[in-house]
Structure 1
Amino acid sequence: MTSPISHERATQWDLYLEDLKGRLIGIPSRYESEADVEVVLNRLNSAIVESFEANCPLKQRTSSSKTPWWNSHVESHRRKVRKLFNKAKRTKNPNHWEDYKSAQREYKKVIRDSIRDTWRASCEDIIQLPSAARLSKVLTKDPGAKLGAVSLPDGGFTSSAGETLQHLLSAMRSAYRLTGLGHWIGEEQTTGHATIWNKATENCPVLLMLQDSVEPTICPSPKLGIQIPSRDDWDNTNNTICQNGIIWFTDGSKIGDKAGAGVYGKTTRTKLSFALGSYANVFQAEIYAILACGMEILKTAPKRRTIQICTDSQAALMAIESSKVKSRLVLDCKKILNDLASCNRVILTWVPGHSGVPGNEEADRLARLGSIGYPIGPEPILGVPYSMGGFNHERAPKQGVRKIMARSPGLG
């Protein structure tokens, strides 16, 4: 069985250039929006690919039926599993069936390891080749691969420009996550997927800022009660406020691009306001308000008291209640609450925001006061939330494209 592949060495480059010039006629040279840039890029990409394919002849090649990851080690395990299966089927002995199942599990593991090792070796070989040889190897190895395609983890290639872009963004998301956890080692690499991330960070420095993230950590929920009463229950605060407890209200706010947190102690008449800068989001502000409240209470070293902290963020309450933590700020908040709950009865209560509850209104005022102030110290104050970095790295390619187009004669 034969399958056609591209014969790059026989490409008629003179005809390719003439063909490309003709296909570029009519492509707009002015654009005023991102949508216009996308249209120009799609047409430019199509013109280059179609011109190359039209002037690059195909040649027949006998496809190999050999599976690249199959080897003698895998074959020996296959024979072993087959023998044990036949033996168990013949004897119907439960012990023999257990031997067969155990060998089968080991066989599957050997297959997975072989596929992974073969894929890694193939990637390393391709990266070490010069650019021209690398292109030739990719197009020769997979007859279906086209210019502009990138390799996938399963050994195949992307089939469209949209799939290629999605794969590149996925690679950047992985690099962004590894950078935040301190595991990224691609700064010095100039080939492969590392170049995608390195170019993105040149256009978006925020990607290299300290992130509010930790490796997924199992942290037991604090020994406290979490209450989410209805709005009707708050019509009568006697149903929701602990009469003999120490009552606190917290809130987070963001005005424009600056966030703030507010803490109000109803029992102690304490009023605290914090400026959190331009990188924190509302969720972080809410969590920080609870954390700051807990730290303020710990200063008085209360024991055997009932402490009630009221917040209007159900998202913050659910994050604190969850046993799996991926945010450094949430982890710190849970540790403070655990310390506070070790000697006291601590209750976190949801309060409806902007509903006229006096304590919540005062906490909201303090949070707004913080969001119009200026933070003390370098930013980011709390670490960049993953959502902000994700937004920026998805925009990074477009920002880079605009710079390239501006520098390109006839296109800028």
Structure 2
Amino acid sequence: MEHNRMLEGTESHSVLGMVSDGLPARINLDLPYNILLPGRDEWERNRTDLLRADSCWYTDGSKTPESAGAGVYSRRPRVEIADSLSHYATIFQAEIHAIELCGRELENRGLNRRSIKIFSDSQAALKALGSYRCISKAAWNCQQTLSGVGRTNTLTLVWIPGHVGLEVFLRKDQIKSESSN
């Protein structure tokens, strides 16, 4: 009977009630978008070409011990979105969520036949979104959103190394302060 008491109170613990991000492996062979992972040296040599598109969007996820957040920024059209997530969210989930927020914004704008680039500093998120095998609900949902945009546009997700000197990249401090509210 002593063993039963070890479990007392665990059913009310918030972590045990969390929804899992895990997903039985799903295969998606139709990814109508491209993933680019240029190295830092390629950024130095080809910055102008990498930034060339009808519309450039920048995404970022962040995590602190207290909270997590996701943000999207575009200069033209002028868009700034910040969204807070559960403090249990991982940085991977925050990065994926930021890209999905961007995809939803692009869908809502009904863009057609445009060259669109979404920039992220998360290689892990971009590699997951470029994989035909998906085991994350967040990544699967994001793939579905991006596929909708990619079917009517030329959509490219591009890795951007941190600290490459682009003033338009998201201000992490703003995301963190807005996500903790």
Q: Taking structure 2 as the reference length, what is the TM-score of the superposition?
A: 0.87
* Residue number in structure 2 paired with 1:370: 178
Q: Is 2:162 the counterpart of 1:353?
A: yes
State the AA in 2 paired with 1:279: Y
Cα offset, 1:222, TM superposition = 1.8
Amino acid at match of 2:149: L
Check the 8 A contact 1:277/1:371 in 2, yes or no: no
TM superposition shift of 1:200: 8.6
Query: Are 2:98 and 1:258 aligned?
Result: no
Q: Which amino acid aligns with 2:49?
A: N
For structure 2, which runs of at least 5 residues remain unmatched after alignment? Answer: none
Structure-2 residue corresponding to 1:270: 79
Higher helix share: 1
Please say if 1:239 is aligned against 2:49.
yes
Q: How does 1:113-262 map to 2 (within 5 A)?
A: 201-202=10-11, 204-220=13-29, 222-235=31-44, 237-242=47-52, 244-262=53-71
Kept in 2, the 8 Å contact 1:273–1:369? The answer is no
- 1:298 matched residue in structure 2: 107
Deviation readout 1:262-282 (Å, 9 max, x if unpaired): 100122121111111311111
Q: 1:302 to 1:266 in 2, by over 3 A?
A: same
Q: Does 1:324 align with 2:136?
A: no
| Structure with greater Cα Rg | 1
Which residue of structure 2 lines up, in the alignment, with residue 343 of structure 1? Answer: 152
Q: Deviations over 1:354-405 (max 9, x none)?
A: 3322222x353443233332xxxxxxxxxxxxxxxxxxxxxxxxxxxxxxxx
Name the % identity. 35
Higher RCO, 1 or 2 (CA under 8 Å, sep at least 6)? 2
Equivalent-residue separation in structure 2 for 1:340 and 1:271 (angstroms): 19
In the alignment, residue 179 of structure 2 is paired with which amino acid? Answer: S
Inter-partner Cα distance in structure 2 for 1:239 and 1:255: 34
Deviation at 1:204, TM superposition (A): 4.1
The 3-state SS of whatever aligns with 1:333 is helix
TM-score, normalising length: structure 1: 0.40
Instruction: State the match for 1:145 in structure 2.
Output: none
Distance 2:148 2:65 in 1: 35
How much has 1:213 moved relative to structure 2?
2.3
Mark the CA change 1:356 to 1:311 in structure 2 (over 3 Å): closer, same or farther: same
1:201 Cα shift? 3.8
Shift in CA distance, 207/237, structure 1 to aligned 2, threshold 3 Å: same
Higher relative strand content: 2
Shift of 1:237: 2.4
Superposition map of 1:49-68 within 5 A:
none
SS at match of 1:358: coil
Cα distance in 1 for residues equivalent to 2:43 and 2:180: 29
From the superposition, tell whether residues 221 and 350 of structure 1 become closer, same or farther in structure 2 (CA, over 3 Å): farther
Q: 1:304 aligns to what SS in structure 2?
A: coil
1-structure distance, mates of 2:57, 2:16: 36
SS of 1:285's partner is helix
Deviation at 1:312, TM superposition (A): 0.2
Deviations 1:129-187 (A, max 9, x none): xxxxxxxxxxxxxxxxxxxxxxxxxxxxxxxxxxxxxxxxxxxxxxxxxxxxxxxxxxx
Number of residue pairs matched? Answer: 178
Q: Structure 1 unaligned runs (5+)?
A: 1-194, 374-412
In 1, distance between residues paired with 2:122 and 2:67?
A: 18
Once residues 270 and 365 of structure 1 are traced to their aligned partners in structure 2, the CA distance between those partners, rounded to angstroms, is 17
Aligned mates of 2:153, 2:142 — CA distance in 1: 16
Distance 1:199 1:219 in 2: 43
Q: Measure, in 2, the Cα distance between the counterparts of 1:205 and 1:259.
A: 17
Tell me how far 1:303 sits from its aligned partner. Answer: 0.7
